[in-house]
Structure 1
Amino acid sequence: MRNVSPVMQRELGAFFYSPIAYAVLTIYLILLGIFFTATTFQPGNQASLEGLANLMPVVFVLFLPVLTMRLLSDEYRTGTIETLMTAPIGETDVVIGKFLGVLVFFIVMLATTLLYAFIVNAYGRLDWGMTASTYLGMLLLGALYLSVGLFFSACTGNQIIAAVSSMVLLLVFTFLSGYLADQASGALKLTLRHLSIREHFNGFARGLLDGNDIVFFVTSTGLFLFLTVKVLESRRWR
């Protein structure tokens, strides 16, 4: 952890001084505000954040790869990766430090939406247990998306390629796999549903906690972080 902390602090500093990060945050808040206003205050709607939560997979697919695209790609482009890799820290420290840095910034982004929860609660009795489940789901979903983005950032020195590759993979496993599962049957249907990120997120949005869904997100995030470490290790020997 001693070696992880400097990397994390370096990334946090980069995010909080980055115009791109603030641009992402601003557009993110504007879009969510428009959607929240348009959907929440309809007559007969239940006091909940389920509608907002259902939008999050789309929002995260579009915005989170933009946050992660520079994490390692920029190190390759500027040549600072060589300095980083010759420092007395390992590949795992670099990956975990960068992941935690972007995760903290993401948590700040997510925390800003708590304002919507308090607004809903002011107009109706918000189920805070369901809301807590929703936010846990959004946190796990975001962490997985960030790990995927970090992996692709490790694979290329081109930030645009890293972002687009992340978006494509996330679109496939968030939306397309669920659609294909509806068209399939038998073992293939079950497999595609298990691989569908949205299927595992939907329960959280409805206030349901399922251990299998938590395990899916944690293990998937861990897998992409592990793969990122392996990509960095392979570059050391080139």
Structure 2
Amino acid sequence: MGAAGDASDANEPRRDLPARDDRRGAARGGGRGGGAMSNILAIAQKELKGYFATPIGYIVIGMFALLWGWFYYVMLIIFNQQSLQLGGLEGGNADINSQLIRPLFLNASVILLFVLPLVTMRIYSEEKRSGTIELLLTSPLTDVQIIIGKFLGAMTLYAAMLAITAIHVGLLFSYGNPEWRVVVIGYLGLLLMGGCFISVGLLISSMTKNQIVSGMITFAVFLMLWVINWPASFVGPNTQNILNYLSITEHFDDFTKGILDTKHLVYYFSVMAFGLFLTARSVDTERWKG
């Protein structure tokens, strides 16, 4: 009975949300912007709690930390062997930025393909499966507030995953000479790539009530964004430019080199905005069906 009770609590979308009267009071007292922000944060908090009310939050963080740690360990051994041949971690021609940190970020981006579908597959699908989506859609909250709140909840979990890995990277500063710029911009690239994946996963989750189907389709779309430019060298220059621009990895590469280019920022924020916009349309369709 206890386990069943915990599960039902995790599926209730409005327990931690402000009551209808409280929201109206917040809007009157703090202005419309303040009331909207409190609603968004309440949704984000509820979403974040939902991850840890079930094993999924712990599984996702543990899986990401384990895979990151494995890549870190293997690449550190390889780099140490190379650097010892060139005079030590700080000596010779060994470049810790290009030979260790950059490959580490590139491998971390691969992990996102497998981990983030687990984060997004339940966001809306579980609401639909349990029937609580009707309660959410008939609440005074707007679709935009719900979507942004759920997005921020998932992003907070993802940011926590990245924060754990900073321990490994921080150790490199004790024994080597990595550049802060490369590390900071590399993490920014991972955060933006994850934001794109989460916005796409949020859209797919809003279209089905089956979490497994949501996760599988999300992974397939992630993979398509990953490999879409692979045939670029076999097509004409115009098509090649289009495929390269659509590729999420093409825009991530400069981040791993410590290069911050506005065209990459525009791409990532555009994908996030487009994904959230389509999610709003999907949820709006669900509201009219109801």
1:47 to partner: Cα distance: 2.0
Q: Of residues 230, 236, 256 in structure 2, which corresponds to 1:205?
A: 256
TM-score under structure 1 normalisation?
0.96
Aligned to 1:13: 49
The alignment of Structure 1 onto Structure 2 pairs a total of residues equal to 237
Tell me, yes or no, if structure 1 residue 126 matches structure 2 residue 178.
yes
Secondary structure, counterpart of 1:155 in structure 2: coil
Q: Of residues 216, 221, 226 in structure 1, which corresponds to 2:267?
A: 216
Secondary structure, counterpart of 1:88 in structure 2: coil
* Alpha-carbon distance between aligned partners in 2 of 1:28 and 1:96, rounded to the nearest angstrom: 24
Q: Deviations over 1:57-77 (max 9, x none)?
A: 210010001111000000000
Aligned to 2:244: 193
Tell me, yes or no, if structure 1 residue 46 matches structure 2 residue 82.
no
Tell me, yes or no, if structure 1 residue 182 matches structure 2 residue 218.
no
Which residue identity does 1:193 align to in structure 2? N
Bigger Cα displacement from structure 2, 96-105 vs 181-190? 181-190
* Alpha-carbon distance between aligned partners in 2 of 1:148 and 1:85, rounded to the nearest angstrom: 21
Tell me, yes or no, if structure 1 residue 116 matches structure 2 residue 168.
yes
* Alpha-carbon distance between aligned partners in 1 of 2:276 and 2:164, rounded to the nearest angstrom: 26
1:17 to partner: Cα distance: 2.9
1:40 to partner: Cα distance: 2.1
* Alpha-carbon distance between aligned partners in 2 of 1:58 and 1:183, rounded to the nearest angstrom: 24
Large movers: runs of 4+ above 6 Å: none
Tell me, yes or no, if structure 1 residue 105 matches structure 2 residue 141.
no
Aligned to 2:145: 93
Q: Of residues 14, 23, 26 in structure 1, which corresponds to 2:62?
A: 26
Which residue identity does 2:95 align to in structure 1? Q
Which residue identity does 1:7 align to in structure 2? I
Aligned to 1:167: 219
1:144 to partner: Cα distance: 0.5
1:16 to partner: Cα distance: 2.9
Which residue identity does 1:213 align to in structure 2? H
Which residue identity does 1:129 align to in structure 2? R
* Alpha-carbon distance between aligned partners in 1 of 2:75 and 2:236, rounded to the nearest angstrom: 35
Higher RCO (C-alpha under 8 Å, 6+ residues apart): 1
Q: Which has the larger radius of gyration?
A: 2
Q: Deviations over 1:129-149 (max 9, x none)?
A: 111110110110011011111
Q: Deviations over 1:107-153 (max 9, x none)?
A: 00011110111121122111001111101101100110111111100
Quote the RMSD (CA, aligned, Å).
1.1
* Alpha-carbon distance between aligned partners in 2 of 1:124 and 1:178, rounded to the nearest angstrom: 35
* Alpha-carbon distance between aligned partners in 2 of 1:29 and 1:3, rounded to the nearest angstrom: 31
* Alpha-carbon distance between aligned partners in 2 of 1:2 and 1:29, rounded to the nearest angstrom: 32
Which residue identity does 1:190 align to in structure 2? N
Q: Of residues 117, 124, 144 in structure 2, which corresponds to 1:65?
A: 117
Which runs of 5 or more structure 1 residues have no equivalent in the other structure?
none
1:25 to partner: Cα distance: 1.1
TM-score under structure 2 normalisation?
0.80
Q: Are the equivalent residues in 2 in contact too, given 1:66–1:163 (CA < 8 A)?
A: yes
Secondary structure, counterpart of 2:38 in structure 1: coil
Report percent identity of matched pairs: 33
Q: Are the equivalent residues in 2 in contact too, given 1:181–1:189 (CA < 8 A)?
A: yes
Aligned to 1:144: 196
1:21 to partner: Cα distance: 1.4
Which residue identity does 1:58 align to in structure 2? V
Which runs of 5 or more structure 2 residues have no equivalent in the other structure?
1-36, 84-93
